[in-house]
Amino acid sequence: MRRLSLDQVETFLAVLAHGSFSAAARKVNLSQPAVSHQIRELETRLGVRLIDRVGKQAYPTEAGREFVPIAERLLAEADAAALTMRRHQDDYVGTVRVGTANNVVVWILPEIIRKLRADHPRLDVAISTDWTGPIVEGIVADRIDVALVTLPVPAGLPVDVEPWRDEDSYALFPADRAPPEGPVTPEAVINEPLILPKRPGAVRRLVDAWFETAGLTPKPIIELSNSEAIKAMVAAGIGATVLPGEHGEHHGHGRLVARPLDPPATRKLAIVTRRYRTLDRATRLFIEAAKAG
């Protein structure tokens, strides 16, 4: 049997993933006749029919279904081989695995990564988002190289914690029912329909603590783990929220109004790494870029 072409294998998986030859053609940037030719060539090399057409839809044959996991492994191994060889190129820096909150990804990391990759275009960044606890667990388990998280960090773990930056919090209101300019108190916000971060995250603890300064306990109508989703709800006029970070500057293109808090509520972010671990070059460069801000 002639050796398989990885391009044909990729096309085969694209046809099945998208359900038709025409959709696969758009995915892999080929003409539909070219996709059909690649599938025929693959079937000829394997000596079996892999895909049946029913109208415009494509379905795997029994042999095709058995070939799917093999095809996926072939492409995964090819990707792994390419990554391994990249490490031998003179200008390759490596990959840094970063764990952080989604609003840090949205408002803080883009400029940091833009500057970092401008200086080191062969440095790759893999980002995962979660609450502080799971992210720090990822550091301990060596699934993450560096974390940018909200303090406090769970105690008793083999990690190094370095304060990074402080961020003020804001109350956000729909533009058509915002209070007058100036700081707002917990008493001024508590009677709004509240849309707040989910427990048990550090941001929710910060928000709850702000209300508790006035002896109040918030009872949100909606709890969400994604700050951008919270802001979308507020922009739709459903309720108000309290969030830390850059929200005072980026507040929904006129659909939201941000007000500072009285008393202030500050989120403290930190850089967390695995204790006793020698940091690779990619991780060191990322940390330097984050500190430079």
Does some domain include residue 259?
Answer: yes
CA angle 261, 263, 264 (to 5 degrees): 60
Which residues neighbour 194 within 8 Å (Cβ) at sequence distance 6 or greater? 218, 219, 220, 221, 222, 239, 240, 241
* Total number of domains in the chain: 3
Q: Which domain does 153 fall in, by range?
A: 94-164+269-292
Of the residues 65, 86, 107, which one is the last residue of a structural domain?
Answer: 86
Q: What's the rounded Cα separation, in Å, for the pair 220 and 217?
A: 10
Residue 88 has pLDDT above 80, yes or no: no
Same domain, 135 and 213: no
Q: What is the CATH number of the domain that holds 15?
A: 1.10.10.10
Same domain, 53 and 185: no
Of the residues 51, 86, 121, which one is the last residue of a structural domain?
Answer: 86
Same domain, 190 and 123: no
Same domain, 132 and 273: yes
Q: Give per-residue pLDDT as tens, 214-261.
A: 999 999 999 998 888 898 899 899 999 999 875 544 455 568 899 999
Of the residues 86, 104, 122, which one is the last residue of a structural domain?
Answer: 86
| pLDDT at 102 (0 to 100) | 84
Does some domain include residue 80?
Answer: yes
Same domain, 276 and 259: no
Same domain, 116 and 139: yes
Does some domain include residue 1?
Answer: no
Does some domain include residue 202?
Answer: yes
Spell out the SS3 assignment of the chain: CCCCCHHHHHHHHHHHHHCCHHHHHHHHCCCHHHHHHHHHHHHHHHCCCCEEEECCEEEECHHHHHHHHHHHHHHHHHHHHHHHHHCCCCCCCEEEEEEECHHHHHHCHHHHHHHHHHHCCCEEEEEEECCHHHHHHHHHCCCCCEEEEECCCCCCCCEEEEEEEEEEEEEEEEHHHCCCCCCECHHHHCCCCEEEECCCCHHHHHHHHHHHCCCCCCCCCEEECCHHHHHHHHHCCCCEEEEECHHHCCCHHHCEEEEEECCCCEEEEEEEEECCCCCCHHHHHHHHHHHHC
Same domain, 197 and 255: yes
| pLDDT at 85 (0 to 100) | 76
How does residue 131 score in pLDDT terms, banded at 50, 70 and 90? confident
Does some domain include residue 69?
Answer: yes
Does some domain include residue 62?
Answer: yes
Q: What is the CATH number of the domain that holds 215?
A: 3.40.190.10
Same domain, 257 and 285: no
| pLDDT at 89 (0 to 100) | 61
Same domain, 158 and 281: yes
Same domain, 144 and 283: yes
Q: Give per-residue pLDDT as tens, 18-55.
A: 999 999 998 888 999 999 999 999 999 999 999 998 88
Same domain, 120 and 179: no
Same domain, 150 and 274: yes
Q: What's the rounded Cα separation, in Å, for the pair 232 and 202?
A: 21
